[in-house]
Chains A and B, each alone.
Chain A
Amino acid sequence: MFEAMWQGLLPILNPGVLLMIFLMAIYGLIIGILPGIGMLVAMAILLPWIFTLPMKQALIALCCVGGAGGLAGSITAILINIPGENFSVATLLDGYPMTKKGQGGRAIGAAAMGSSLSYYVSVLLAFAVLPLFIVVVKVMGTGEMCAMVLVGIAFVGVLGARGGHLKGIISGVLGFMLAFVGFQPNTGLARFTFGSSYLFGGLAFVTVILALFGTPSIIEIGMKGSIVEAGQEMPKMRGMLSQMWQGCVDVLRHFWLWLTCMLIGFVVGVVPAAGSGTAIWIAYGQAAKTSKHPELFGTGMVEGVMAPESARGAVHAGALLTTLCFGIPGSAGMVIVLGAIIVMGIIPGPLMVTEHLDLIFMMFLAGAISHSIGLIQLAFCLRPMLGLVYLKADYLVPSIASLVVVGAFAATGNVAEIAVLAVISVLAYFMRKYGYAPAAFALAYILGVLFERNFFLSLTVYGWRFLLRPIVLVLLLLAIYVSASSQLTAGARKIFKLVRG
């Protein structure tokens, strides 16, 4: 294991790679700070280019954007009351009131210190629990992996859809249908190709991801006209650095709260698809519950900023662990990482932990290093970065649109990608508009082929009895419960009322 750790560190120590990490951290911060565009789009736009790099460097680049991009979302939440990502919503509850009180720098310091400390400690924690994960993963066969895919899609769909469980599950099924385009993995039968040789190999991963996450964001920004409200002024930056230091000290003063929130973030991160959006609220609730002045939460309490940020920082390591060991992403960003890993020919799961353990360590370390570099960049370039948020949509829409389209084309060099991008973009836009879960769609599309291969392999080896293997059965029941939990609860309530009535 220590050898794998060393092997994971070696590629990062290359000066060229360190320069790339530096640049990726800037890129992640610049795109991540733009509310409505954010980290997911930053990762999606990067995909076509990273596939031109050697595998290890490509994975490092992707983790760096994720590591640094997460930092940026809370800045806009604190300073201008606009959350950069859904996981920054809890931060603005106390962050923005602190800015109004003239303590914006202190809030940023607390957020950055809380999330960074959590990030590093959670990476160590991930290293510590990895052997346990390896033992569990090695028990899992093809049937169990099949069932895990269904559990993952159920979780991502249910937790990621704004419009309810049903829409989340529909998103997952739609993603599966898209994965069936092209040759069937076992038989070589061409499906849903409509005679086009272009579709024989299936749809390009990059095009699908760009259409799912890139285009809807562009339309939304274009629709709003600008990110900030007209007439909203940029907050003053004088004395920001000294205030940031004070915020850092605040985190150390509330050490036990930080530790609790970090653990909450890590555990929630390990749960498939629960992600930062869930962890921040649990942590915020915990901070309010343990505070001596819970009534003051929402009026500018530093604990209200550091608690959700500390949880958010720790989610990444937990989510990466689940993604790499079980192939089930812990968050939407991890869906993209998972897809990239699969496209590069590595199958997450038992093979990953036995043959590519160094890659797991490398990805953890790359994320942690880019987080630190991003933190330094943020401290010194806060004003120009925040200035980007004040750019009008007139500049953002055409530039990002051209990046998305050029990226889709560059992935395969086939002009037909543009047509595919257009069709999936329209579908993705309406999915987002009506509250479906694009992440569940993407996950099902990414894992569809793998699911089908494992399914028929299990069927050949065990026959239909594979569905009755204990772990498979438990996982399938879990998937059904997660998918139908709201309907089941409502039904149970009705029965309870009937019985009482």
Chain B
Amino acid sequence: MKMTGSAYFLLFLLLLAIVLLYVSFQLTGLTPLQTFQGRLLPVVMSISLAVLTAFGLFVELRKKAPKESPAGEEETTARRAEARREVDTIVWIIGYLVVIFLIGFDLANFLLVGAYLKAYNHGWVMSIACGLVWAMLIYVLLDFLLGVDLYEGIIYIPLYDFLP
């Protein structure tokens, strides 16, 4: 029995199903009919989810681990590099979302493209130019042409006072 990534995910889903089941039972309407209609499908679905994930977890844990052939040094290095890039990309995206919340879309778009390119060994000029072009493109397309009022962040940025 070995806890793989897939088993951990199933365990997470099982816990989620239990929480959802609990919340489903707490739903209360003004009349018994309202309560029945409000609860019925969420309860049925969360019970189904719990049963299915528990069964999936049981199957996953009973699986015999495949005999691993010793990976070559090159393969191990490639796998590690890929895993690192995976974590890096997720961190970049989460960081981007946090930066948007703080300083708004226009600056965050510039920072994301510029910093991402710089982080992956592109020159300063190239990174800044690409960041500027992309941020301006999004600004012109959305704010200017489509009239979408882009979020400006919780931190006051004087730059936004000058943008049309």
Contacts and interface: CB of A to CB of B under 8 A. Distances in A.
B122 to A, nearest CB: 7
Given A176-B41, A177-B45, A219 B86 contact: yes
B86 to A, nearest CB: 4
A367 to B, nearest CB: 25
A434 B57 CA distance: 13
Contact of A399 (B6, B52, B93, B113): B113
A13 interface: no
Interface in B53-109: 53, 55-56, 59, 82, 85-86, 88-90, 92-94, 96-97, 100-101, 105, 108-109
Given A189-B27, A409-B150, A177 B59 contact: no
Interface of B: 5-6, 9, 13, 20, 23-24, 27, 29, 33-35, 37-38, 41-42, 45-46, 48-49, 52-53, 55-56, 59, 82, 85-86, 88-90, 92-94, 96-97, 100-101, 105, 108-109, 112-113, 116-117, 120, 122, 130, 134, 138, 142, 146, 148-151
Contacts of B49: 170, 173-174, 177
Given A398-B134, A422-B94, A187 B45 contact: no
A231 B69 CA distance: 28
B148 A410 contact: yes
A425 B52 contact: no
B161 to A, nearest CB: 20
Given A180-B45, A186-B37, A434-B9, A405 B96 contact: yes
A418 B142 contact: no
Interface of A: 49, 52, 163, 166-167, 169-170, 173-174, 176-177, 180, 184, 186-187, 189, 191-192, 215, 218-219, 222-225, 392, 394-395, 397-399, 401-403, 405-406, 409-410, 413, 415, 418-419, 421-422, 425, 429-430, 433-435, 452, 455-456
A180 B150 contact: no
A435 B117 CA distance: 31
A211 to B, nearest CB: 11
Contacts, number: 137
Majority DSSP secondary structure for residues of B touching A: helix
Given A189-B27, A189-B34, A406 B89 contact: no
Given A176-B41, A223-B89, A413 B149 contact: yes
Contacts of B101: 415, 418
